[in-house]
Structure 1
Amino acid sequence: MEDMRMIFKGDDVFYRPLAQDDLPALYSWACDQEVTKYSLSWYVIPKPIECHKTWLAALIAKDTSVDLAICCNETQKIIGYSGITALNLINRCGEFYILIGEQDYWGRGIATEATKIITEYGFKNLGLHRVELTAFADNPAAITAYKKAGFIHEGIKRQSGFRDGQYRDKVMMSALSSEWMK
């Protein structure tokens, strides 16, 4: 791998910077409609691998986000990625995101752990005051993971996402440094 520096270590996974060598896994997830069903971003419209290569290079080079690979402690294999994007250091806020691409790791609490670890990093290391996120209202697993991690439901963004030929509501959630679990 280009950069195997471990940034955080959890119970079952560790977090490291994304690398160009992660492209095959990221692309395979992009091609899996079950994995991308609730994706709010890049994966919504299918694209050739060359576009994903350019996207990943730009993501790695970007300094307005924290983007980390989530890797299995045992196998060292990437199983997902997560981070905080849209960093605004004037308003001290950012937007959390996560995608667990390897379905064998769904339902194991990894999303909750990643949400906690990366949000904590945003508060303590980046000096953020607010970390926010959105999730489709019909994605109860994500909403539950975010609540367990300490995020608070703020409201509904009505019909703000378009999937499967219809508009869908999104849940808006946030965590504030002043309320964050110490």
Structure 2
Amino acid sequence: MVKLAPLQPEHVAHFYTWLRDPEVIEYSLSAFQRMKTTEQIDQWFAATLQQASNLNLGIYLEETNALIGYAGLSGISVTNQSGEYFIFIGEKASWGKGVGTAVTKQIVDIAFTSHQLNRIMLTVSESNTGGLKAYTKAGFVVEGRLRQAACRQGVFHDKIVMSVLKAEWQPQGAQGY
């Protein structure tokens, strides 16, 4: 269905369209809500590719090799053997087709095998039912709630904190990157 591979500088062009679509960025990084210009997106993308404590991988459709988003881990701590999972699917045609679950399972496999992490956490907007479903299918469990932690379109909503521990994880057979 999908494969993961490093993002390349030329992939920034995909983000120009994605980050300007309010529906695509609704549940994404707060920073995405403010990015309006090509220059802002270029600066964010260049910084993203250089972050040593992050794992940033492009999500590609296996059949066409088309980039449809990116996912990975931010804030990887060697000391704490932990990181924070993120996913961004920019191509709406790929929504609701199991891509989020497949990618989440692959990243968790990579985190626990290649990066020797013990814990992966994430936060998800309470109203992002697709995300909640994908994360649960990938083995994440709810740890708590951050009340009114996000504001989108003038409305506050809760963020759900979820995590998966290596001891709870069932290997899926990661597809390398």
Q: Which band: TM-score by shorter chain?
A: over 0.9
Matching of residue 123 in structure 1 with residue 105 in structure 2: no
Q: What is the Cα-based RMSD across aligned positions, in Å?
A: 1.0
After superposition, the Cα gap between the structure-2 partners of 1:46 and 1:55, relative to the gap in structure 1 and judged at 3 Å, is: closer
Matching of residue 55 in structure 1 with residue 47 in structure 2: no
Kept after mapping to 1: 8 A contact 2:35/2:41 = no
Point out where structure 1 has 5 or more consecutive residues left out of the alignment. Answer: 1-11
User: Hey, what's the Cα distance between the residues in 2 that align with 1:34 and 1:58?
Assistant: 24
User: Hey, what's the Cα distance between the residues in 1 that align with 2:78 and 2:33?
Assistant: 28
Q: Deviations over 1:145-171 (max 9, x none)?
A: 000011001111111111111221001
TM-score (norm 1): 0.91
Structure 1 equivalent of residue 91 of structure 2: 102
User: Hey, what's the Cα distance between the residues in 1 that align with 2:114 and 2:26?
Assistant: 32
Kept after mapping to 1: 8 A contact 2:2/2:103 = no
TM-score (norm 2): 0.93
From 78, 82, 85, give the equivalent of 2:74. 85
- 1:96 Cα deviation after fit: 0.3
Kept after mapping to 2: 8 A contact 1:130/1:175 = yes
From 34, 42, 57, give the equivalent of 1:45. 34
Task: State which drifts further: 48-57 or 146-155.
Answer: 48-57
The higher relative CO (CA closer than 8 Å, separation ≥ 6) is in 2
Number of corresponding residues: 171
User: Hey, what's the Cα distance between the residues in 2 that align with 1:113 and 1:125?
Assistant: 18
What percent identity do the matched residue pairs reach?
37
- 1:54 Cα deviation after fit: 1.6
User: Hey, what's the Cα distance between the residues in 2 that align with 1:57 and 1:40?
Assistant: 16
Secondary structure of the residue aligned to 1:28 is helix
Match for 1:60: what amino acid?
A: L
Match for 1:106: what amino acid?
A: W
Match for 2:164: what amino acid?
A: A
- 5 Å matches for 1:124-163? 124-163=113-152
